[in-house]
Amino acid sequence: MRILVTGGAGFIGANFVKYMLNKYPDYKIINLDILTYAGNLDNLIEVENNPNYKFIRGDITNKSLINNILEDKNIEVIINFAAESHVDRSIEDAEVFITTNVLGTQVLLSAAKMHNIQRFVQISTDEVYGSLGTEGYFTETTPLAPSSPYSASKTGADLLIMAFYHTHNFPGIITRCSNNYGHYQFPEKLIPLMILNALEDKPLPVYGDGLNIRDWIYVEDHCRGIDAVLHKGKEGEVYNFGGNSEKTNIDTVKIILRLLDKPESLISFVKDRPGHDRRYAIDFSKAEKELEWKPKYSFEEGIKMTIDWYLDNSKWISRVKTKEYLDYYEKMYKDR
């Protein structure tokens, strides 16, 4: 199979590229990534010389580039990870979220349609469903009600996939997964940010009352889910994936502190995120039934592996802490 993976230098994409090259020695993977602040070729060092892997630096909104890649590389399948992915950044400036997440998806869809691509897997998010109260779970038929500019842009892309399916019989499939964690995650997201701050004995900024709930999934479980959708998913369908690990943010932060043997006095409650979704929780029974998928790792196992990875990879950490990152941190957290 010849697969175009977009956004394969980011956190989930890089984990997925490696997972697939390892599992399917006869598949070819072309990774198209523009390398934003979140794209990092260090994540792919082990596979850079693999004959089944090729990296192309480029933008998913670039129509002629996409058409050339689909033709020259005889692409059969597209898996679209490329996105702006951080809610806080989308609150500061939504523009690039619309360009990449909505327009970029449309460019990929139109090119894929023209080249008769066999399957298009859109990596979406549970955040398109909005926020839950204390009860209930997101199912694939929960109405879409995004609350942040990020989730609105991801919803726009999902609607385009479904519109192409209904209008053109286009072979699109959508995955909606809960919060991922694991190695190579950029330290703007909760778990790596807290690990890195704790390692430096810096304050751990918990938004609001710390009682917002996220369902955490170890990234390898998500990769297995995407693999299952690629091979067994039905066109025009949506599949939810979750980790069966609902936690309040404060509990998550306390677990990290305990595993790093750091004091809870590092916790600092800061101003809440505007429009902060209260709770995400996933019903993934459709994936269980139709794809025979369920998460393998408990949060306790996954978080230990994740912390060990950050402890063992200080070089990766120091290369990620660029001036751009330090400026971002200063800007986002100084007035909180």
CA distance 8 to 29: 10
Within positions 172 to 191, which residues make up the interface with ligand TYD, using CB under 6 A? 179, 189-190
CA distance 228 to 109: 21
Of 189 and 262, which has the nearer Cβ to ligand NAD? 189
The residue count for binding ligand NAD (CB under 6 A) is 30
CB of 242 to ligand TYD, least distance (A): 13
CB of 12 to ligand TYD, least distance (A): 13
Residue 6 touches which member of ligand TYD, ligand NAD, none, C-beta under 5-8 Å by kind: ligand NAD
- Given the rule CB under 6 A, which of 1-9, 22-30, 192-200, 224-232 is the region that contacts ligand NAD? 1-9
64 by Cβ neighbours in 10 Å (0-12 / 13-18 / 19+) ranks as: exposed
Using a CB cutoff of 8 Å and minimum separation of 24, what contacts does 47-51 make?
47/17, 47/18, 47/21, 50/21
Query: What residues contact 115, with CB distance under 8 A and at least 6 apart?
Result: 67, 70, 71, 75
Within positions 92 to 131, which residues make up the interface with ligand NAD, using CB under 6 A? 100, 104, 123, 125
Q: Does 197 help bind ligand TYD (rule: CB under 6 A)?
A: no
Concerning whether 150 is annotated as a catalytic residue, the answer is: yes
Q: Does 205 help bind ligand TYD (rule: CB under 6 A)?
A: yes
CA distance 76 to 116: 8
Catalytic residue among 129, 150, 181, 310: 150
Q: Where are the alpha helices (DSSP H) in the chain?
A: 11-23, 63-72, 87-92, 95-97, 104-114, 149-168, 190-199, 219-232, 249-259, 285-291, 299-312, 314-320, 323-333
CB of 266 to ligand NAD, least distance (A): 24
CA distance 27 to 180: 25
Q: Does 90 help bind ligand TYD (rule: CB under 6 A)?
A: no
Can you give the length of the chain in residues? 336
Beta carbons of 174 and 238 less than 8 angstroms apart: yes
Catalytic residue among 59, 84, 127, 277: 127
Of 80 and 125, which has the nearer Cβ to ligand TYD? 125
Of 106 and 125, which has the nearer Cβ to ligand NAD? 125
Q: Does 215 help bind ligand NAD (rule: CB under 6 A)?
A: no
Q: Which residues are known catalytic residues?
A: 126-127, 150
The contact set with ligand NAD (CB under 6 A) reads 6-7, 9-13, 32-36, 38-39, 59-61, 81-83, 85, 100, 104, 123, 125, 154, 177, 179-180, 186
